Structure 1
Amino acid sequence: MRFQGTADYVATPDLTVAVNAAITLERPLLVKGEPGTGKTELARQVAAALGLPLLEWNVKSTTKAAQGLYEYDAVSRLRDSQLGDERVHDVRNYIRPGPLWRAFASEERVVLLIDEIDKADIEFPNDLLQELDRMEFFVYETGETVRATRRPVVVITSNNEKELPDAFLRRCFFHYIRFPDEETLKRIVEVHFPGLKPRLVHTALTQFFEIRETPGLKKKPSTSEVLDWLKLLLAEDLSPEDLRADPTTALPRLHGALLKNEQDVHLFERLAFMARSRRG
């Protein structure tokens, strides 16, 4: 069982090594990188490439680790007891398995995505240490132990918004997805927009990298944003010549796909003003 990338996902050699190392070690793969660099999509493509089902657990700021195991609906059980419902005699009727339980109980191996783990409370990763390490957990309401039938392939993503505990990191295989260089980005563009005219790709990516490398930029545009931008360029049927920035603002055409806050827009406007002042 080895991952080599897919026709829909450009995986660099170091990324394929990381995925296969995590599978061999049977440890979670912790993937970090800028937002929009394909971390979440990686898990989906690993599942597709290996022919395995995918279970997604999208973590939020309010998510608790126990929700990944199961949730006990005590309120519904109390209501049913007041109504005389026979279901109350079996507590299992009020236990909802979470994504880890479903992954452990699956008769076939699955890919489990724990997406954006750094959004949750700092204790969240620590609360999953034993479950991810031993691939089992105890259900207090029923007195049973849930063990993994087939050890899942676990992919955990993080946008690096907060540091993860050392004890958690020790149990993971780590990979940082670097922002792609121009050649890799061209390959990604070709996957999403096959047959795009080379001149347009070259002009658009040159302008894109100039924007990313502008000093003082608060939020650098990501891979997903350049793909959105190219989609708009195609929809508007723009030529390479049409992509020249507005000389009065230095802003690229359809810049709303690339610049996502007013500070960065004002930065380009200031740069244009300074350039005009020097010429004057």
Structure 2
Amino acid sequence: MSLWPVYTGSGEPHDGIEQLPPPPPWRAFDGGPVLPPPPAGGGTASPDRAHRARTYRATPECVQLVNAALYLRRPLLVTGPPGSGKSSLAYAVARELGLGPVLRWNITSRSTLHDGLYQYDPLSRLYAAGRAHGAGVPDGVDRAGIGDHLRLGPLGTALLPYARPRALLIDEIDKSDLDLPNDLLNVLEEGQYEIPELVRIARHTPTAALLPDGADGTAEPVTVEHGRVRCRAFPFVVLTSNGEREFPPAFLRRCVALRLRQPHGEHLEEIVRAHLGEPDAYAHELIDRFLQRGSGGELATDQLLNALYLTGAAGLTASSRDDLAALLMPYLSADAGGAAADQGSDAAF
């Protein structure tokens, strides 16, 4: 029996992912051999990311669209201003649904599809092959041990044939080269890719043992057959964007789009409560001032959290707390800051 919603936004881990119904026929994948899911844990070994996953507070719209992406086996394109929780969402979903450590691909202007799929060091392999030849290894054998010189990237790991989906965060896709979104189309649509270096040697070396992304030297490698990787459970892919550029229509058509906004009212208080406990009288006052100040320009929720933490922990006088809070919450746009300054006391603490 299927379950809606699979992701509830409650923050409590559960096995609801096991009740996810079969995919639409046009999004079914049959990769193998099937790999067991990684240990669930907290979705990440990093304490700060574990905290973000545990304290994330999803809106009803967010819950609905995350589930739409999970059911449809489509990437989730999350846009919103800085500090609105775009990247934290991936960790929250992974923690609640037990999807294992989040695979993270941080995008820059130099990122290419190849970077996300795998990294290969041909020079180290050439050196290893020369040493093996000197040791008398016969021809026809992969003297270089290619698996020692090739490692899967975060996207390449996410598309391995795991029994349940992995969580993949492709962070700040709007920073990429213009070609990257289009390059991603075929891989995310087909749920598979080839490693040419392995395809070329598949006749005499049909399998290769490779380390997945995030694995250390003690981890068990995964087996890739004939240089081809095809997923079984399509990963939960979160692509984040600050809304600084437009994406091609073909790319947008293949994504479920979620627009996050800065939290207000009770939602903002829930976030504060999750991070710092029940707000006191001064915290409520500072939240109100944050909301009023935010009407004059762009602010981020983590600016408020920083101000609340410091003003509560530093033992300051009332006037000093106000001065510090104002300094910790500058506008994120110079234009907004100038406009707010022109408004005088309307935006001032």
Query: Which TM bucket (shorter chain)?
Result: 0.7 to 0.9
* Separation in 2, partners of 1:78, 1:204: 62
1:203 aligns with 2:207: no
Q: Which residue of 1 aligns with 2:305?
A: 227
8 Å contact kept, 1:105–1:146: yes
1:140 aligns with 2:140: no
Q: Which residue of 1 aligns with 2:117?
A: 69
Correspondence for 1:94 among 125, 143, 149: 149
8 Å contact kept, 1:65–1:125: no
- What is the TM-score when the length of structure 1 is the normalising length? 0.84
8 Å contact kept, 1:115–1:157: yes
Q: Which residue of 1 aligns with 2:217?
A: none
Q: Secondary structure at the match of 2:240?
A: strand
1:182 aligns with 2:265: yes
Q: 1:243 to 1:181 in 2, by over 3 A?
A: farther
Q: 1:94 to 1:262 in 2, by over 3 A?
A: closer
* Separation in 1, partners of 2:62, 2:254: 18
Correspondence for 1:192 among 275, 284, 291: 275
How far is the alpha carbon of 1:75 from its aligned partner?
A: 2.2
- What is the TM-score when the length of structure 2 is the normalising length? 0.68
- Structure 2 alignment gaps of length 5 or more: 12-53, 200-226
Q: Secondary structure at the match of 1:156?
A: strand
8 Å contact kept, 2:105–2:169: yes
8 Å contact kept, 1:92–1:142: no
* Separation in 1, partners of 2:194, 2:333: 50
8 Å contact kept, 1:186–1:201: no
8 Å contact kept, 1:58–1:114: yes
- Structure 1 alignment gaps of length 5 or more: 246-251, 276-280
* Separation in 1, partners of 2:337, 2:82: 20
How far is the alpha carbon of 1:149 from its aligned partner?
A: 3.2
8 Å contact kept, 1:30–1:157: yes
Q: Deviations over 1:171-191 (max 9, x none)?
A: 100000011122210111111
Q: 1:158 to 1:261 in 2, by over 3 A?
A: closer
Correspondence for 2:90 among 43, 51, 57: 43
* Separation in 2, partners of 1:157, 1:124: 14
Q: 1:147 to 1:221 in 2, by over 3 A?
A: same
Q: 1:229 to 1:88 in 2, by over 3 A?
A: farther
Q: Deviations over 1:93-128 (max 9, x none)?
A: 322211122112253421111111111111111111
1:160-179 aligned at under 5 Å gives the runs 160-179=243-262
- Which stretch shifts more, 100-109 or 171-180? 100-109
* Separation in 2, partners of 1:141, 1:49: 38
- Which stretch shifts more, 77-86 or 230-239? 77-86
Q: Which residue of 1 aligns with 2:327?
A: 256
Amino acid corresponding to residue 241 of structure 2 in structure 1: S
8 Å contact kept, 1:35–1:159: yes
How far is the alpha carbon of 1:211 from its aligned partner?
A: 1.8
* Separation in 1, partners of 2:346, 2:186: 58
How far is the alpha carbon of 1:79 from its aligned partner?
A: 3.4
8 Å contact kept, 1:204–1:243: no
Q: Which residue of 2 aligns with 1:11?
A: 58
1:78 aligns with 2:126: yes
Amino acid corresponding to residue 8 of structure 2 in structure 1: Q
How far is the alpha carbon of 1:37 from its aligned partner?
A: 0.6
How far is the alpha carbon of 1:138 from its aligned partner?
A: 1.3
Aligned length: 263
* Separation in 2, partners of 1:178, 1:274: 23
* Separation in 2, partners of 1:273, 1:44: 40
Between Structure 1 and Structure 2, which shows a larger proportion of helix residues? 1
8 Å contact kept, 2:116–2:153: yes
Correspondence for 1:30 among 55, 71, 77: 77
Q: Which residue of 2 aligns with 1:116?
A: 172
